[in-house]
Amino acid sequence: MFKLPIVSLKPARHKNAEVIKVVFEKDESILQALRQSGKIRWSQTMHCWYLPYSDTVKQDVFKVLEHKAWIDYSGLTQTIADKTSPTQPKETANNTGPKALPCASPDILQKVKVFKYYMRSKRYSENTIGTYSDALKIFLRYYSDKDITDITNDDLITFNNDYIIKNKFSGSHQNQVVNAVKLFFRTVENTKLNPELVHRPKREKTLPNVLSKEEVKLILEAHGNIKHKAMLILIYSCGLRRSELLNLKLNDIDSKRGLVIIRKGKGRKDRITPLSEKVLNMLREYFKAYQPKDWLFEGQNRKGQYDERSLANVLKQALEKSKIDKPVSLHWLRHSYATHLLENGTDLRYIQEILGHSSSKTTEIYTHVSNKSIQKIVSPFDTL
């Protein structure tokens, strides 16, 4: 299963100016997202990518890399001066700056290892296991001078205020930490922290990003390569998540019933979604050209399933060819599918089932971006 890559931010000096080094393993999808900010540059002398220093750099990076990478901000808890000037006073207990995190001790690493083992036994996805483990590690590093059984609910509140909020991390990042801490402390005996009393931050009520039908058509028709075209069309026409597309096998396409079977999607739930005759004919054309054996979309040299970074590049190339200047991600196609279904008059209950939402409230968010009813509203300005 896929685990989010790590992007580390570290302070540095470049051409006598304060900058932030952005360190990550080669990943075109991450680099593409960072380039959308228009600020990232390559340094030949430092041999890395960097951003100009700013007070909002953490929020800026998280905004463009949310759901694409795990951001390690711990290196920013030291100022540039701390790194370059031996006479600069170190952080003290009275310092109002964010607390520098010590390295994870062998004891912390062992506890995180046991936590991972527990989550695997509960059949959490590898993506969730990686996210929760990293979040817990940061929390335990913050309280490395304290025995785990002595950590209290008040300590978590302090952590949220003095580390999460002070570093201007997002509410979703805070929620990940809270979820990890609650789950971990349910397995710790004789602890003073009561997971049932832990509160979560209020969720940000953001609207899903939606493309017009014209924009979707341009993206889906941009590729001449039938395999690339088929992957993007299947995501949009069936409302698939990225991992759901890549996990499809040949027998998941039920051509007789006109269905796609999604096995162990988010929440490890199976579901079905309708497959149109038009898309089925395109898949038959793709099958004749590529003859896949096991996975519907195989990787290079027919080894394993298609790589998700390569899939991100397929979308990137389609955007370049269609000249759409928006930070479109693959999930935008799923959002657009749901919104277009709603605008076509499909009942919300069916859309909920097709998308695999556990709650109807999740599906109802598409009513806020559908223009079906809004366009009928006449502005009072027009009647003046």
Mark whether 366 is an active-site residue.
Answer: yes
Q: From the candidates 228, 334, 335, 340, give the one annotated as an active-site residue.
A: 334
Q: From the candidates 249, 263, 321, 331, give the one annotated as an active-site residue.
A: 331
Cα–Cα distance measured from residue 290 to residue 133, given in angstroms and rounded to the nearest whole number: 39
Mark whether 357 is an active-site residue.
Answer: yes
pLDDT digits (tens, 9 = 90+) for 23-51: 888 777 788 778 776 778 888 777 888 88
**281 φψ region: left (φ > 0), alpha (ψ -120 to 50), beta (else):** alpha
Residues of the chain under the 50 pLDDT cut: 1-2, 78-98
Mark whether 67 is an active-site residue.
Answer: no
Cα–Cα distance measured from residue 162 to residue 164, given in angstroms and rounded to the nearest whole number: 6
pLDDT digits (tens, 9 = 90+) for 326-352: 889 899 999 999 999 988 888 888 999
Mark whether 290 is an active-site residue.
Answer: no
Q: From the candidates 14, 241, 271, 316, give the one annotated as an active-site residue.
A: 241
Query: For residue 212, what pLDDT is reported?
Result: 92
Query: For residue 373, what pLDDT is reported?
Result: 65
Query: For residue 65, what pLDDT is reported?
Result: 80
Question: Is this model's pTM higher than 0.85 or not?
Answer: no
Give the CA diameter of the chain.
Answer: 75
Q: Do the bridges between strand 271-274 and strand 17-23 make them parallel or antiparallel, or are there none, so unpaired? A: unpaired
Mark whether 47 is an active-site residue.
Answer: no
Q: From the candidates 168, 249, 266, 321, give the one annotated as an active-site residue.
A: 266
Cα 29 to chain centroid distance, Å, stands at: 12
Q: 133, 150 in Cβ contact below 8 A? A: no
Domains, the chain: 1-81 (3.30.70), 102-204 (1.10.150.130), 213-368 (1.10.443.10)
Q: Do the bridges between strand 17-23 and strand 48-52 make them parallel or antiparallel, or are there none, so unpaired? A: antiparallel
